[in-house]
Homo-oligomer: A and B are copies of this chain.
Amino acid sequence: MKKLLKPVDGGERYELRCPKAMPQASTFLWNRNMLLQLNCRGFAVAQHMQPEPSKYSHAPLLEHKTFMQPEQPQYAHHPGRFAYIRDRETGSVFSAPHEPVRAEPDDFVFSAGRSDAQWRLRKNDIGIRMSVALPLDDVAELWTIEVHNDSGKPRRLDLFPCFSIGYMSWMNQSAAYSSELGGIVARSITPYQKLEDYPHIKTLKDWTVLLHGERPSAWEACRDVFEGEGGIQHPDGVENGGLHNGDAIYETPIAALQYRLNLAPGECREYRFVFAPVRNGEQAKVLRTTYLASGGFEAAQAEVKAFQEQRQGCISISTPDAELDNFVNHWLNRQVFYHGDTNRLTTDPQTRNYLQDAMGMAYIEPGHSRAAILQTLAQQKADGALPEGVVLSNGSELKYINQVPHTDHCVWLPITLQTYLDETGDYALLDEWVESHGESLSVLERVTRAMRWLINNSDHRGLSLIAQGDWCDPLNMVGHQGKGVSGWLTIATVHALTIWADITKAVRLENLSVEMRTAAEKFTAAAQQHLWDGDWFARGISDAGTALGVSSDEEGKIWLNPQSWALMSGVATPQQQEKIKAAVREHLETPFGPMVLAPSYTSMREHIGRVTQKHPGTGENGAVYNHAGMFCIYALYAIADSDRAFTELRRIIPGPGDEHCLQRGQLPVFIPNYYRGAVKQFPRTAGRSSQLFNTGACSWLYRIIVEQLFGLRGIVDDGGAGGTAGGLQVAPQLPAHWQRADVTRHFRGATFDIQMQRDDSVDKTTLTVGDKVVTDGIIRDIEAGKCYSVKVLLPGALSSESGAHSSGSGAFSSESRALSPESKAFSAEVGTPDVAPGDSK
């Protein structure tokens, strides 16, 4: 039996060989102006920005405009891109990719590429290849359909490319063939009722066109006429062998074309199409000229390739885990870049997301991160709070969840800033002036103000107020009366303040640093006093004083985030660390990664809120919520539990192995925002992917891989003057079963070819750069443009428990990691209490 799933082209493509095994399996393509999600069966969700997300291939009814939903269900008339093939001699019909006919193919491949998607299928000795790519900037799908006669005899076929246009508008929709533009042109007017909407409405690209390279012999633009009684699965227009050049007159449009083919044995025909929204015929003509002229597709793809090659990220790896290599080298960097490049195709990204997406971009396009930090601070409120969302374009407004007050946004600011500073050494950023609400302050002043906002956002006990949510958006009724507190946020505040204490210390602002550290210690003390439940930290305390996420709860007994952050922030004592790890293992661990809470709530708790109303095992109500999973992995590495960290990390990436992917229903070409949890309550659906590729998880995973797994983190010299760049710290935490790993790391303009190897002859990590041994593990005096050859010898494999002290970052002294708060937790554990804020607990 053929392998169901496999990477090809050195991992640059990923192939699925059955349309039925994972019907929701999907990939996505994007440019800055559009997004195209495609599933293996030919269904598609396309959005373009004008500037709000809009559709040009619609559902069959007026769709609710909202954010992307998890596990979005498909249905017979789901928008898609199809090609029906009819044998004119036998009348037999099948379709590519698989929908709508769903004929059993003789051969099927769905091939997700980094910048295209392809399908190859064979049925009755006819081969079909469909592929799509996007241009660098234009909103347009560039489609190729090839038909190949694989039989030994001439074949007479009809090819019917058929692209969904759907229900465009109740005000005005129509479609017809245009000889002048060369294709089906569907026109509509976005429905509206208010006069004040008109100026915007009239700027929209309300037409959808399917432009062809080669003129078809017939076409149909009216969906119902095309389908007739046969329906979408067996359209009359196809089954009866001919289209009749009809129009859609205030009827649901479709773009169906017919080509008559007489193929000699072995003969192949290729057809090209551009499917796109436009505002008028002129724009359609430009698309035709640009892409349907000879070499147009090739030029577009070359441009995209050149663009992508500049944005591959800062690391490429070769390890004993080839599937991990593929994912990190080709897909994870791509997903991280997608987030930063497009801001998830929103005009008002949630501040928390925007900052973390910028964190990931520090490794790919640091200039973007810098700009995002400045953009965020330019919308800081006078009291230091950050807004719910960062408004990116004129006229856009805060929507959906960004209308609900959350209290965690400031936490992410020092985290992203630290990552950016580590990666670039660009301490000049701290002195940039940023104007907001008529006040001009430096970045340093603004971040300080944000930290003071966090400090002030606390109650009489010193616990952080939650308002209507923190990281967990639907945790909206714990503190809506103004009294309830967040256990996680209290602990996360420690983490944020500690980072800021470190950074300010590095730039010699001793007083400020001490202020931050002292505040962190107070929050730590409050957390210890009010939140420690005996075996783990509570998730919060409601307005009425009821604790949640505690052992006396029957549901939502333990939440992952307070535990992860207690580990990474140093809030947890060594004894607590052990208890926490045991509790997480017992209550939250699954084969798909850790659940965000357990047991999932099964009914509303009015002192907790909306999270308890989500379906058990989905989203924040007990899914393997990968963003939270990443915090957990980050925390495990931070306390040098490298093997356990790697185990969790590996679980979160689909595969290796078909079965692992099958239960998820997802290809390893992105990290989804969640896998279904509630594994005991609902084993049938446990592990199923949300198919949502918008997630803060990818930035964190990239960071974890660069800075923790391979331990290749930028660092500022402890003793340097403010702004001193420091160097590249080398402190890998490879899993014990890896004997070697080769890593190429791009850092501050230089390239490091790094060989990591276990060697029984060393008893601690040994670093050689060129022919020089580096004793403190930090490569300094890096010259941009230069290539360094680096060798790292690691002690032989040890178990995680006994090896924690000798593997990983612990091999070097804590002084060299002044900006690394997690190292302090670890340092505390190994007995250097002088710098640890949480050591006395």
Contact = CB atoms under 8 A, between A and B. Distances in A.
A615 B194 contact: no
A72 B171 CA distance: 12
A167 interface: yes
Q: How many of these chains are in the complex? A: 2
A676 B249 CA distance: 10
Contact of A171 (B77, B172, B613): B613
Identify the interface centre among A20, A63, A71, A610: most chain B CB within 10 Å of its CB.
A610
Contacts of A474: 193
A615 B170 CA distance: 9
A234 to B, nearest CB: 8
B615 A20 contact: no
A252 B73 contact: yes
A804 B490 CA distance: 88
Contact of A63 (B63, B223, B610, B613): B63
A170 B70 contact: yes
Contacts of A72: 61
A617 B250 contact: yes
A73 B102 contact: no
A657 to B, nearest CB: 24
Nearest to A202: B604
Main secondary structure of the interface of A (DSSP, over half): loop
Given A75-B61, A250-B618, A476-B195, A229 B404 contact: no
A307 interface: no
A477 interface: yes
Interface string A19-30: 010000000000
A192 B604 CA distance: 14
**How many A residues are at the interface, by size bracket?**
35 or more
A170 B620 CA distance: 13
Contacts of A202: 604
B194 A71 contact: no
A76 interface: yes
A562 to B, nearest CB: 23
Interface string A358-371: 00000000000000
Given A71-B250, A77-B76, A202-B604, A63 B66 contact: no
A148 B231 CA distance: 29
A69 B62 contact: yes
A229 B610 CA distance: 35
A428 to B, nearest CB: 40
A76 B73 contact: no
A102 B233 CA distance: 12
Interface of A: 20, 59-66, 69-73, 75-78, 102, 167, 170-174, 189, 192-195, 198, 202, 223-224, 229, 231-233, 249-252, 400-401, 403-404, 468, 473-474, 476-477, 480, 604, 609-610, 613-615, 617-618, 676, 682, 684-685
Given A73-B167, A171-B615, A173-B615, 13 more contacts: A59-B61, A63-B63, A63-B64, A73-B223, A76-B232, A76-B233, A102-B229, A172-B613, A193-B473, A195-B477, A195-B480, A233-B233, A250-B615
24 contacts: A20-B229, A60-B75, A61-B61, A61-B75, A62-B63, A62-B66, A69-B170, A73-B167, A73-B223, A73-B252, A76-B232, A76-B233, A102-B231, A171-B613, A171-B614, A192-B610, A193-B473, A194-B404, A198-B610, A231-B233, A249-B615, A249-B684, A250-B615, A250-B617
